[in-house]
Amino acid sequence: MHSKPSPHLIEKAAETLPVEPDACTLIGDQTNDMQEARAIGAASIGYANKPGKADDLSATSADAVIAHIHELTEAIRAN
């Protein structure tokens, strides 16, 4: 078992697809998700699903931060 942040899941997904990790985008609601994406070179989209999370996710240098799931398509296209 791998503790977070660990790029293991992105590496495994990229290997399975097969694509390079930098062609992947990790969507998460925790700051450690953004760190995990950065560690492997993947793009990251923070999902601020609770008040106050947007600032925390932005502070991790997430590539995008969304507050509503309907914003996801646009955020993916931008990254």
> Residues 54-66: pLDDT tens digits?
999 999 989 999 9
Query: Domain for residue 21, yes or no?
Result: yes
> Residue 5 above 80 pLDDT?
no
Per-residue pLDDT band at 2 (split at 50, 70, 90): low
CA 19 to chain centre: 16
pTM: 0.87
Name the residue range of residue 58's domain: 8-78
Structure confidence at residue 9 (pLDDT): 85
Query: Domain for residue 22, yes or no?
Result: yes
Query: Domain for residue 3, yes or no?
Result: no
Query: Domain for residue 31, yes or no?
Result: yes
User: pLDDT by residue (tens digit) across 35-79?
Assistant: 999 999 999 999 999 999 999 999 998 999 999 999 999 999 987
Which CATH number goes with the domain that contains 65?
3.40.50.1000
Query: Domain for residue 1, yes or no?
Result: no
The burial class, CB within 10 Å (0-12 / 13-18 / 19+), for 46 is buried
